[in-house]
A = this chain, B = another copy of it.
């Protein structure tokens, strides 16, 4: 007789989550090609041939967990799933999946286009939304302004920070983490900004300006989200190993630094969460892409990371299935992980329930300054 006896599953199923990193969902219906492309994270070209996204862990998870919410049997065939989904208006789908996620608060990175904005996400889900400022997008806005770049950046950041609960950097996509990440000299920043503006001021890849933005994010003091690891092939995955952030972290003070996604570097990220009092981690995005393998991923992030340094996120973007699956698979995977350690009498049941709450919402509420759900 397992010690847990269903209580772990029940408790975790009932948690009201804070999804601390997410994007908007679609509000317009996709065609099938667009939908299938949205099930592949890494490929930037249209999926083709053997990519067959329905034949992947995520595709299987859609059929297993999303199909029943649309009135189909679990594991419904891909064609049936698509037909059923296609016959439902996108906002109605979004409402279904977003509400089923059991999320009280979404912390939204609005830096990606083509999806619901923060207010729409709130309306569709019936939950609160909060925003993070994407530093590279803010830099591009600053470049478009007149006057000194530093002043423009600071003014924009101060303005956005009045409502935003944190910042976000996609340095991983702009050359990766290796090399100098120290705070640049202001004169070098203006010089780099001049060159960039002269070249058109599009898509920031200048290292000086990227470093500047990163340190402005730090200086703000609000949690700084860092894209780490898994993402699309525009990034050089090996240059997003979070250990390459060591020098930066050694000099990062007390601003919370939130390492996002982290796959396949989740053990390295867990090490950093132990090594620095201000470093936090999650394995969002990877959870739904790993599907049936998510329990092992969750278990690995709980190796070295102190338990109060681990958060939940979905990184959902596009199909609202992802916002739901992030939560649904996380609950199942966490419950599996917790059941194993409790059944082995390595952890107590009370500790398992308590740590689940820490990861599910308590740490996020505290770090981002949100009210703790009653």
A residues with a Cβ closer than 8 A to B are 40-45, 47-53, 55-57, 60-61, 64, 74-75, 230, 232-233, 236-238, 241, 243-244, 246, 250, 263-264, 267-268, 271-272, 274-277, 280, 289-293, 296, 299-300, 302-309, 336, 341, 344-348, 350-351, 355, 358, 363, 367
Contact check, A290 vs B275: say whether CB atoms are below 8 A apart. no
Number of copies: 3
Given A232-B275, A277-B51, A299:B296 Cβ within 8 A:
yes
Given A237-B243, A292-B341, A306:B55 Cβ within 8 A:
yes
A49 to B238, CA, bound (A): 31
A173 nearest CB across to chain B (Å): 13
A40 to B305, CA, bound (A): 10
Question: Can you list 30 pairs linking A and B with CB atoms under 8 Å apart?
Answer: A40-B306, A44-B275, A48-B277, A50-B277, A50-B280, A50-B306, A50-B309, A50-B363, A51-B274, A51-B277, A55-B355, A55-B358, A56-B304, A56-B305, A56-B306, A57-B303, A57-B304, A60-B346, A64-B345, A64-B346, A75-B351, A230-B271, A233-B275, A237-B243, A237-B268, A238-B244, A263-B267, A264-B271, A292-B346, A293-B302
A304 to B305, CA, bound (A): 23
Residues from chain B with a CB closer than 8 A to the CB of A274 are 40-43, 51, 56
Given A53-B306, A238-B241, A74:B345 Cβ within 8 A:
yes
Using CB atoms, name the residue of chain B closest to A367: B50
Given A246-B237, A344-B292, A50:B308 Cβ within 8 A:
yes
Contact of A233 among B53, B56, B61, B246 (CB under 8 A): B246
A348 to B65, CA, bound (A): 12
A265 nearest CB across to chain B (Å): 9
